[in-house]
Structure 1
Amino acid sequence: MPSKKKKYNARFPPARIKKIMQTDEEIGKVAAAVPVIISRALELFLESLLTKACQVTQSRNAKTMTTSHLKQCIELEQQFDFLKDLVATVPDMQGEGEENHTEAGGEKVPRRFHI
């Protein structure tokens, strides 16, 4: 007899999401569908962020999405305001020479995402 347990299709691992959720002491049991819904919400959020970051990248005539493009996207879109602290240390875009990022010691840091 086949199992009656439902299988959900999720792009982010629901077990990992559940584990993260349960690190909060105030969260008790979590229904099986909750991590799947969180997974879908995460997918939609990332799609929105990356679509807008892609627009920034294309508006700069760049072929490589960098952390600077993500920073500009986060600063321009009000819905991403909660991420501003995360990108505060990312260097601002610098014209056409933005492909080479360096740290204080002069060491090159790869910060590219090919689109």
Structure 2
Amino acid sequence: MESKGQVPQIKTRFPVARIKKIMQADDDIGKVAQATPIVVAKALELFMISLVQESCNQARQKNAKRVSPAHLKQAVMSMDQFDFLVETVGKYPDPVNDDDDEGGRGKRKKRE
């Protein structure tokens, strides 16, 4: 059992110490509670899982073998929860040809 005031150990895939350092780099942020960077790391992890899963869904719909930036952009454009990223992904061009998700790269001609 944990004593009062201790933060439970939560496994995250993002470095909690680095998140704390980034948070404290802002002059407007004073002391950071011990649990805050842990919660931010876990929230970041769950957000990334959601974004990558939707990007994979977009790639599957296009029968693509790889997830491309175009799939990521389409994921952002198709889900309301990613509305805050629309302006960011809007800077990147739409795919020229939906049938060719590889953009002509990485494909080899068959030898006859």
Smaller-chain TM-score bracket? 0.7 to 0.9
Of 38, 41, 44, which aligns to 1:42? 44
TM-score, normalised via structure 1 length: 0.76
Secondary structure of residue in 2 paired with 1:86: helix
Q: Which runs of 4+ in 1 moved over 3 A?
A: 4-8
- Work out which of the two has the higher radius of gyration on C-alpha atoms and give 1 or 2: 2
**Which residue is equivalent to 1:96?**
99
- Equivalence map 1:14-25=2 (5 Å): 14-25=16-27
Q: Whose relative contact order is higher, 1 or 2, with alpha carbons under 8 Å and at least 6 apart?
A: 1
Give the C-alpha shift of residue 98 in structure 1. Answer: 2.6
**Which residue is equivalent to 2:87?**
85
What value does the CA root-mean-square deviation take over the aligned residues? 2.0
**Which residue is equivalent to 1:111?**
none
Corresponding pairs, count: 99
The structure carrying a bigger strand percent of its residues is: 1
5+ long unaligned stretches in structure 2: 1-5, 106-112
Give the C-alpha shift of residue 57 in structure 1. Answer: 0.5
Query: Residue 7 of structure 2 contacts residue 34 of structure 2 at CA under 8 Å; is this kept in 1?
Result: no
Closer, same or farther in 2 for the Cα pair 1:36/1:5, shift >3 Å?
Answer: closer
Q: Percent identity?
A: 43
Q: Please list the CA deviations of residues 39-81 of structure 1 after superposition, one character each: whole Å capped at 9, or x if unmatched.
A: 0000100111111111100000001000000001101111111
TM-score, normalised via structure 2 length: 0.78
5+ long unaligned stretches in structure 1: 102-107, 109-115
